[in-house]
Chains A and B, each alone.
Chain A
């Protein structure tokens, strides 16, 4: 158990809908990362938050947004969903950046858009 909790584990929704994925980092970890894993694209970095503020942005679509709350949990919002958004979404946390400390990954949320 990595200590990172992601909910829900599975999500099935229709095209055009909006969903929210939740991540609770390990106790004390200030950084939260979001990744999208698909078969053809591998593990794509979406966005990183550090202590409530956006720190780094990757290939995140405009239809996607995220935030980190004062209690350090994070949510990833996906809207106007398309079939191609079906993927495994991972959250990871680390005490500071990934520089000298490892990132701990949750078990992921599997999103299926039908």
Chain B
């Protein structure tokens, strides 16, 4: 079945460091890909999305490119801030069958001032 694998955390970085969180997926159809973020005590919020190969999603300085050839959707940010501390979830929705969203296990990010 469809699945999402993302790097395990926690990831700890200093403020202004470069961030990469790796995400790979397995899907039989042509999925849409998402990054969601969960701040402490809150629900998940969509951070960015890409619906087809080579699309780049971006928001709040975060970017991810839909790479069909490597089945990847890595999240990057050039300069992280303390306020970026949260849990990040990579997810997919497979248009081929239904449109439930399958999530990775999440990566906890700590940014030190």
A: which residues have CB within 8 A of B? 2, 4, 31, 33, 35, 41-43, 45, 48, 55-56, 58, 90, 92, 97-100, 102-108
What are the 5 closest A-B residue pairs judged by CB atoms, nearest first?
Answer: A97-B99, A105-B43, A42-B105, A102-B46, A56-B98
A-facing residues in B82-100 (Cβ within 8 Å): 89, 93, 95, 98-100
Please classify how large the interface on chain B is, using the bins under 10, 10 to 19, 20 to 34, 35 or more.
20 to 34
Q: Determine whether the beta carbon of A98 is less than 8 Å from that of B93.
A: yes
Closest B residue, CB atoms, query A100: B51
Task: Give the number of residue pairs across the A-B interface with Cβ within 8 Å.
Answer: 67
Could you list 10 further interchain pairs (A-B, Cβ under 8 angstroms) beyond the known A45-B103, A98-B34, A99-B93? A4-B43, A33-B100, A33-B101, A42-B104, A43-B89, A56-B100, A98-B99, A98-B100, A105-B43, A106-B43
Q: Determine whether the beta carbon of A102 is less than 8 Å from that of B103.
A: no
Q: Determine whether the beta carbon of B49 is less than 8 Å from that of A43.
A: no
Closest A residue, CB atoms, query B103: A43
Closest A residue, CB atoms, query B6: A42
Given contacts A42-B104, A97-B93, contact A56 B99 (CB under 8 A): yes
Q: Determine whether the beta carbon of A107 is less than 8 Å from that of B42.
A: yes
> How far is the CB of B17 from the nearest CB of chain A, in Å?
25
Q: Determine whether the beta carbon of A105 is less than 8 Å from that of B45.
A: yes
Most buried by B among A4, A100, A103: A103
Given contacts A42-B105, A98-B32, contact A90 B43 (CB under 8 A): yes
